[in-house]
Chain A
Amino acid sequence: MSEWCICSVFALQKVSIIIVIFACVVCKYIIYLSEVQLNETLAHLKTESETLKSKLEEERAKLHDVELHQVAEKVEGLGQFVMKTRRTLKGHGNKVLCMDWCKDKRRIVSSSQDGKVIVWDAFTTNKEHAVTMPCTWVMACAYAPSGCAVACGGLDNKCSVYPLSLDKNENLAAKKKSVAMHTNYLSACSFTNSDMQILTSSGDGTCALWDVESGQLLQSFHGHAADVLCLDLAPSETGNTFVSGGCDKKANVWDMRSGQCIQSFETHESDINSVRYYPSGDAFASGSDDATCRLYDLRADREVAIYSKESIIFGVSSVDFSLSGRLLFGGYNDYTINVWDVLKGTRVSILFGHENRVSTLRVSPDGTAFCTGSWDHTLRIWA
């Protein structure tokens, strides 16, 4: 009797072991099947995206009936340009990384690698305010539309707003307000039409819209596959969009309200360092490490011009248009500024003066001059 019990126990054990092994095999097979299914869906989605991409290219190519410079042949050529350095702003202790004009066409804010943010009067070259940031490499700075505050940020992953007071002795750092928080460096920032909202772009691959007063995130923009290096807001008449450029060689146009990417352009061969809207808002220019500047038309949804020369091999760090949009200024890493005829695609002038790479370039709000900042620690005003 006991032998029978022992035998049956052993038999039961063996059977249960067999059942467990069988269950494992069935489980593995089910997991294998689901993986195969996932891989098939992934492959299917990839082919679908490739087909859509080529269809998109076809649609864009259908409307490519003529080149911009061909249409512009009948336009009058521009005369000789005499642009010189009219002011040199000295005072930064290290590379100047970013600058912005105030709407009063006179004041400038600039930031540098040593953590200093300085507000200058461009007419007199006097320094009006100076703030020392707690971090080095202040890569972004912007003037508020009212002229009463500046925003800046960089390796601290934040964007801070400093209200500017008329009292020159007041300690600006005490009134600092931290507005934006990213998970990587801040590459660019810009106030929207008011002092109340700030748009930022970051090395974490996202852009974000913040409320200055509360520091709250209003909208975030996901879509870049790598660091976002630059952004520009559409001119106020054309509505709530902005363009951003990144290390993924893409320039994306976003709707500020919905957070959606409405258009995407990928023709550059390297990181896009700077993007700037054409004054009418229908196009934008970009400057890249591939040594070219390109013009993209938003309504034709394609690149319409490339500004390049075989002799130019250094990357473009920043671009801006003159008031009418006829001239495109590019600051290059070979210490020069090239001035391009936007319509004809030819170079109109080349300006020398900086002793290290030009890192930032902005035309003044009334178009009378443009300012460049450089790694040679100075800013120059050209007119």
Chain B
Amino acid sequence: MKDGIANNSTASISQARKAVEQLKMEACMDRIKVSKAAADLMAYCDAHIREDPLIMPVPASENPFREKKFFCTIL
């Protein structure tokens, strides 16, 4: 039973060590300011918005889902 308790402690210690290592690694990351990140997201949207068929609808004849197709055959 004492061995069991020792094993549990060593397991939680190795888990805690891993968590500490992970946090140390994350702390070393190079971060940019939110203003720059936001500006980049906006720039991407701006550059691609004209190609977005859900925002700038293409004419119905080019959108295969919007055009009205009748799948009946005349017998």
Contacts and interface: CB of A to CB of B under 8 A. Distances in A.
Interface in B23-55: 23-27, 29, 31-42, 44-49, 51-55
A370 B44 CA distance: 21
Contacts of A65: 33-35
Contacts of B64: 106, 123, 368
9 contacts: A35-B5, A60-B31, A263-B26, A264-B26, A297-B41, A300-B31, A323-B53, A370-B54, A381-B65
A324 B41 contact: no
Contacts of B12: 42
A38 B13 contact: yes
Nearest to A368: B53
Given A35-B9, A63-B32, A370-B54, A45 B41 contact: no
Given A49-B20, A83-B54, A75 B41 contact: no
Interface string A86-107: 1100000000000000000010
A86 B33 contact: no
A66 B35 contact: yes
Interface size class of B (residues with CB under 8 A): 35 or more
A74 to B, nearest CB: 9
A163 interface: no
Given A63-B34, A299-B36, 17 more contacts: A34-B6, A38-B9, A45-B13, A65-B35, A66-B38, A72-B38, A260-B25, A278-B44, A280-B40, A282-B37, A282-B40, A297-B37, A299-B37, A301-B31, A323-B48, A342-B41, A366-B53
Contact of A52 (B6, B23, B31, B53): B23
Interface size class of A (residues with CB under 8 A): 35 or more
Interface in A24-83: 31, 34-35, 38-39, 41-42, 45-46, 48-49, 52-53, 55-56, 59-60, 63-68, 71-72, 75, 78, 83
Contact of A45 (B6, B17, B33, B46): B17
A59 B34 contact: no
